Amino acid sequence: MSPVRRCSRTACGRPAVATLTYVYADSTAVLGPLATYAEPHCYDLCAEHSERLTAPRGWEVVRLLDGSAPARPSGDDLEALANAVREAARPQERAAEAGGGRTADPREVARRGHLRVLRSPDN
């Protein structure tokens, strides 16, 4: 017997990456990371079958994120980071003009929306 757990779907021999559990009382299917041990009332699924999983009508699918997988930044996160870098790269005179001179913190170098660029405490 192979130590690698396989997908529970019929005729699928791919390695399992997720575990599916049904909570009948709540009409919920919970799909999470691969369980440590194979449980008799849980189903191990490969990547393809876990992505395509659907539940019966009236049921809810809850997908739990794998804590070991790094979270992907959203488009908003990347845009905010790019804007902050652009703002920090601008000359200080122009950055002060753009901020309207409303810097209350002496460590604050520039501001863009809710983001602030601060001087290092060592300087």
Q: 4-46: per-residue pLDDT in tens?
A: 899 999 999 999 999 999 999 999 999 999 998 888 889 999 9
Give a yes or no: residue 30 inside a domain. Answer: yes
Give the three-state DSSP class for 53: coil
pLDDT of residue 114: 72
Q: What is the mean pLDDT of residues 102-119?
A: 70
Q: Is residue 103 a part of any domain in this protein? A: no
Residue 116 lies in a domain: no
Q: pLDDT per residue over 53-104, tens digit each?
A: 999 899 999 998 765 555 666 677 778 888 888 888 877 655 455 555 554 6
Angular region, 13: left φ>0, alpha ψ -120 to 50, beta rest: alpha
pTM for this model (two decimals): 0.52
- Domain assignment present for residue 115? The answer is no
Domain total in the chain = 1
Residue 62 lies in a domain: yes
Per-residue model confidence (pLDDT) at position 95: 46
Evaluate if residue 116 carries a pLDDT over 80.
no
Question: What's the CA gap between 59 and 115, in Å, rounded?
Answer: 41
Domain that holds residue 30: 1-67
Q: Which residues does 12 contact at the CB level (< 8 Å), separation at least 6?
A: 6, 46, 49
Torsion-angle region of 27 (φ positive above 0: left; ψ -120 to 50: alpha; else: beta)? left
